[in-house]
C-alpha cells in the first residue's frame, strides 16, 4: 500500500501603491526544495534555485493581492502483511485512511493475527518436544549410571515408566504440531489471497 499525503502552504502578499503613477512590483518568493506551485494558481515570471519571481502591476492608489499556494507531496510505502494494530490505529487517528481502506486493512490484520496465533501455538509445542527430548536423554544417562547399584531394578522400572509417558506425550504433541502446521498453511494462503484481492485508489 502506498499512502500519499500532501502538505500545503499559502502565503499572501499585499501591495499598496500610494503613488499617483502605476508601478510594477517584483515579488521574490523563496523557493523550497520539494515544493511546487498548486495548479491554477499564480504563475511566476522567472524562477531560480532560490526564488520564484512574480510581477504585479499596481494602479495608482490601488491595492493588489498575490496569493502563492504551494504543495509538498509525501508518500509512504507499507507492506500490508507488516501493518499491526498500533499502526492501523495511528492511520485512523490521523485520518490518513477512510472507512473502505480501514476495513480492507482490518481484514488483512484479522488473518495476519490468525497466522501469528498459530505460529505461537506451534512454537509452544515445539519447545515442549525439545524439553521432552532433553528429559529423555537425562533419564537414559541415569539408567546407564545405575548398573550394579542396589536400587537398579526399582529405579529402572520407574525411569522406564517415565520414558513411556514422555514418549506418548511427545508423539501426541508432534501430531498437534503437524495439525497446526496444516492450519497455518491454509491461513497463510488465506492471508495472501486477501492481500492480492485488495484493489483500491482512495482519496481523502
pLDDT(80) > 80: no
DSSP secondary structure string for all residues of the chain: -EEEEEEEEEEEEEEE--SSS-EEEEEEEEP-TT-EEPTTS---SEE-SSEEEEEEEE-TT-EEEEEEEEEEEEEEE--GGG--HHHHHHHHHTT-S-HHHHHHHHHHHHHHHHHHHHHHHHHHHHHHHHHHHHHHHHHHHHHHHTTT-TTHHHHHHHHHHHHHHHHHHHHHHHHHHHHHHHHHHHHHHHHHHHHHH-------
What pLDDT, in 10s, does the model give residues 19-34? Answer: 999 999 999 999 999 9
Same domain, 189 and 149: yes
Domains contained in the chain, number: 2
Asked whether residue 139 carries a pLDDT value surpassing 90, the answer given is: no
Residue 204 lies in a domain: no
Please determine, for residue 12, whether its predicted confidence score (pLDDT) is greater than 80: yes
Among all chains, which residue has been given the C-alpha cell 485512511? 97
Provide the pLDDT for residue 202. 52
> Contact 191/108 with Cβ under 8 angstroms?
yes
In this prediction, residues 184-203 reach a mean pLDDT of: 80
What is the rounded CA–CA span in Å between residue 191 and residue 197? 10
Q: Is residue 13 part of a domain?
A: yes
91 found inside a domain? no
Predicted pLDDT of residue 36: 93
Q: Is residue 69 part of a domain?
A: yes
106 lies in the same domain as 191 = yes
Tell me, what's the pLDDT at 98? 73
Q: What is the pLDDT of residues 96-132, one digit of tens each?
A: 677 777 788 888 888 888 999 999 999 999 999 999 9
Q: What is the pLDDT of residue 201?
A: 57
**Which of 20-29, 77-86, 133-142 shows the lowest mean pLDDT across its residues?**
77-86
For the stretch 143-193, pLDDT in tens is 777 766 667 777 778 888 888 899 999 999 999 999 999 999 999 999 888
What would the mean pLDDT of 1-18 be, rounded to a whole number?
89
Across the beta sheet with 63-77, the strand order is 2-16, 63-77, 36-37
Cα gap 135→131, rounded to integer Å: 6
Task: Determine, yes or no, domain membership for 122.
Answer: yes
Mean per-residue pLDDT for 51-69? 95
In a domain, 28, yes or no: yes
Above 90 in pLDDT, residue 200?
no
Same domain, 106 and 192: yes
Mean per-residue pLDDT for 61-65?
94
pLDDT at 16: 95
Other C-beta atoms closer than 10 Å to the C-beta of 104 total 20
Residues spanned by the domain of 54: 2-77
Q: Do 174 and 118 share a structural domain?
A: yes
Within a domain: 93: no
87 domain-assigned: no
- Output the pLDDT for position 194: 85
Together in a domain, 72 and 109: no
Amino acid at each position: 500500500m502506498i499512502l500519499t499525503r500532501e502538505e500545503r502552504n499559502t502565503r499572501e502578499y499585499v501591495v499598496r501603491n500610494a503613488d499617483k503613477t502605476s508601478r510594477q512590483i517584483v515579488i521574490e518568493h523563496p523557493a523550497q526544495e520539494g515544493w511546487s506551485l498548486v495548479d491554477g494558481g499564480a504563475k511566476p515570471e522567472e524562477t531560480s534555485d532560490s526564488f520564484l519571481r512574480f510581477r504585479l502591476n499596481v494602479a495608482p492608489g490601488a491595492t493588489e493581492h498575490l496569493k502563492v499556494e504551494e504543495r509538498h507531496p509525501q508518500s509512504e510505502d507499507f507492506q500490508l502483511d507488516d501493518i499491526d494494530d498500533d499502526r492501523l490505529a495511528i492511520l485512523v487517528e490521523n485520518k490518513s485512511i477512510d472507512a473502505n481502506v480501514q476495513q480492507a486493512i482490518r481484514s488483512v490484520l484479522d488473518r495476519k493475527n490468525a497466522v501469528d496465533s498459530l505460529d505461537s501455538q506451534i512454537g509452544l509445542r515445539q519447545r515442549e518436544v525439545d524439553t521432552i527430548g532433553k528429559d529423555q536423554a537425562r533419564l537414559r544417562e541415569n539408567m546407564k549410571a545405575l548398573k550394579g547399584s542396589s536400587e537398579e531394578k526399582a529405579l529402572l522400572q520407574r525411569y522406564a515408566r517415565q520414558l513411556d509417558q514422555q514418549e506418548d506425550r511427545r508423539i501426541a504433541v508432534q501430531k498437534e504440531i503437524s495439525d497446526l502446521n496444516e492450519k497455518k498453511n491454509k491461513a497463510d494462503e488465506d492471508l495472501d489471497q486477501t492481500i492480492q484481492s485488495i484493489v483500491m485508489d482512495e482519496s481523502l
